[in-house]
Structure formats: structure tokens, C-alpha cells
Amino acid sequence: MFQREKSRYIFTICFFGVLVKFYSAEKFGNHPATIFDAQRMCLEDGIEGPQRYDALFEGASRVLNDLELVQDRVSTASLARIHSPQLLDFYRAMEKNGFNPPLPDSFPPPGISIEPENLLARYGRHCTDTQSPLTREYYTEALRSAYAAELAAKEIDSGDAYVLCRPPGHHAGRDFFGGFCFLNNAALAAEILSKKGSVAVLDVDFHHGNGTQDIFYKRKDVAVFSLHGDPAWSYPYFQGYESEKGSGEGTGYNFNYPLEETISKQEYFSVLEQALKDVADFNPKYLIVSFGADTYKEDPVGGLSLDVQDFSQLGSMLGALQLPSLIIQEGGYAVSMLPDIVENFLQGFLKK
Ligand SMILES: [Zn+2]
């Protein structure tokens, strides 16, 4: 599947001397996780399932073949750089309890930060929704994905990388998780790179990267730029507004570009152009792309106006920044189209 000839071709023709590596956590298990659909009042198989892994892998391996398959799990010490001790302790307690209960049923009122002893209550304390069941398989995949992101960040001097993370991570904040995200892969990579220079995290998933925003909101060495469906009508609803610009030292280093539901392709790329100008003004040493394929027009969860071939333009516009880059996979749920979307995006990016 991974032919060296293909690699040389890309390297010579498209790449201008930059090697792009493909990191992936090895797939673990084949479980559909059950979520509670609050609109239809029923339990159903989650849309963020292992079938996404196969589709993403297929797309990336059409373009990249220098693959590092990761089995190891990220350490607690690494996770403690971006997540709170309380959240990590909750994960440990869930693991010890056989990942029971399956979903939370109580959520704290705003401003309450009490950490109850009751595990079900702690679930609601840290989880923001009913769509993120913490199962053994999910958690294992999350630990491996975070390790893949960590590895890619540590090896960035050897070239850009695409990191197949599944489940995604950008909805996991310092002290909370949700939206199928348990550990913030992009934030871990950004945190590691920030020790060597400033980092821009550019989130082009359909949904606002509220977890990433939360983790870096008070910092000026990691600036966060997110284009997403306006939270007025789109998950995660409570964050992602233009007025959120960072706080303290981080004021002016958080950029949100909420998009109308009916935005045209041309308008989308013009907002992206503005975001890229803002990234360039920040003048980062490194770029992390939180890449979601759910801006595809028929994505069952997101969906803007982008067609499959438009992802090539998206990739090439990001590649044109000419920065040492990590592409971290976030969402994208139109499984049958994911291979083509990822292939187009990476090929566009490689034209840099
Ligand atoms: Zn998304």
C-alpha cells in the first residue's frame, strides 16, 4: 500500500524539499459507541465511529506513505500540560470503574466548580453534552491519538506532518470534554511547539474549537484562529463568538470567524483569506491546522458550501503560509467522501 516510488514523486514534483510524514494511532477495536440523541429522544450509534478511521486512512495513504503507526499511549505527565488534574483524575476513576456509567445525567449550573465524589456527578461536571460516551475503546483511541500528535510535534524539524487522530480533540478544554473529543491533540502539539517559538492554531473544522480556545485563552505565545458555523445556530453554541478575543496577556490573540449557514463558497474563501492575513500578522514560527472535513456540503453533522474538489483550494491556501506545519485531523462524518476530501486537501497543501 505504501510505495516508495509514490513518495519520491511527491517529494520531487510538489514539495520543494519538505517531507510530509503521516502519523496515525493504530486502530483499536471496532465499536460503535452509543450516544443519546436529545432531539429524537433515543439512543443511537454515534456518528464518530471506527469507520471514519478507515476512510481517513485511505485518503491520507493515497498521498502520503511515510507512515508511523502509533501503538503507545500518551503519558499523564504530557496530558497534564494541557488538561486539569481534576479531569485527568476523572478519566482514571472511569477507567477503574470499567467506564461506567455510560453517560452523564446531571450538569452543574454556571460558575460551579465543585468536584463531587459521586462518579456520575463528576461525569456531568466535566462533560458538556450527551454525545460523548467515554468507553474503553474510545479512551484508548484518544490516548493513542494524543501520543501521535505529541510525536509529530517533537519531530517537526524533520518536516510537516498529517496526524490521523480519531476521536477528534478540539472540543476538549482544560477541564472539560464533549463533542466526541476527550483529549485535545492539537493543543498538546501546540503546547510542545510553543517551547520553541510562537504557534498559530488555525481551526477549519465546521465547529468552533472551543476546547483549544479555552486552553490558550490567556496566552499570547499560542494564538488561536477558528472559522466555524456561527454558534448562534451551531454546536458548541456557547462559545465561538467574534467578541471572544482572549483575556489577560492573551487579549488580542484569539480570533473567531463565525459563518452564516448560507455562506457561499466565494464568501467562505474570502473569510479564510482574512484569517490567513491575521495569522501572517501574528508571524508564528509554527502552524497547527485543526482540519475538519465536516465543512463538506453534505456532511451529516456540519455542512457548509464546500464541494470535494474545494478542499484542494483550502489545502493550498493553508500551505501558502509556508510555515512548518502539523495537520491534525478533527471532524468529518460523510464517511464515503472522506477519502477524496482528505486526498484533495493534502494534495492542495503539498503544492506549497
Ligand atoms: Zn466538527
Residue 34 pLDDT grade (very low, low, confident, very high; cuts 50, 70, 90):
confident
Q: What's the gap in Å between 4 CA and the centre of ligand 1?
A: 33
Q: What is the mean pLDDT of residues 11-27?
A: 63
18, pLDDT greater than 70: no
Q: Which of 2-6, 86-90, 294-298 has the lowest mean pLDDT?
A: 2-6
Query: Minimal CA–CA distance to 221: which of 191, 180, 186?
Result: 191
Q: Is 225 exposed, middle or buried (0-12, 13-18, 19+ CB in 10 A)?
A: buried
Q: Buried b / exposed e across 198-221, counting CB within 10 Å, b at 16+?
A: bbbbbbbbbbbbbbbbbbbbebbb
Tell me the pLDDT tens digit for each residue of 328-342.
999 999 999 999 999
Q: What is the mean pLDDT of residues 13-41?
A: 71
Tell me the pLDDT tens digit for each residue of 40-53.
777 777 788 889 99
Q: What's the gap in Å between 119 CA and the centre of ligand 1?
A: 28
Rounded Cα–Cα distance for residues 93 and 333 (Å): 30
Q: Is 208 marked active-site?
A: no
Residue 12 pLDDT grade (very low, low, confident, very high; cuts 50, 70, 90):
very low
> Which is more confident, 33 or 345?
345
The one catalytic residue in 171, 207, 208, 228 is: 171
Residue 11 pLDDT grade (very low, low, confident, very high; cuts 50, 70, 90):
very low
Residue 19 pLDDT grade (very low, low, confident, very high; cuts 50, 70, 90):
low
Q: What's the gap in Å between 219 CA and the centre of ligand 1?
A: 24
Single pTM value for the model: 0.93
Coil, strand or helix at 163: strand
Please tell me the predicted confidence (pLDDT) of residue 16.
38
Q: What's the gap in Å between 6 CA and the centre of ligand 1?
A: 31
Q: What's the gap in Å between 73 CA and the centre of ligand 1?
A: 24
Residue 4 pLDDT grade (very low, low, confident, very high; cuts 50, 70, 90):
very low
Tell me the pLDDT tens digit for each residue of 147-199.
999 999 999 998 999 999 999 999 999 999 999 999 999 999 999 999 999 99
Coil, strand or helix at 177: strand
Tell me the pLDDT tens digit for each residue of 50-63.
899 999 999 999 99
Rounded Cα–Cα distance for residues 29 and 131 (Å): 19
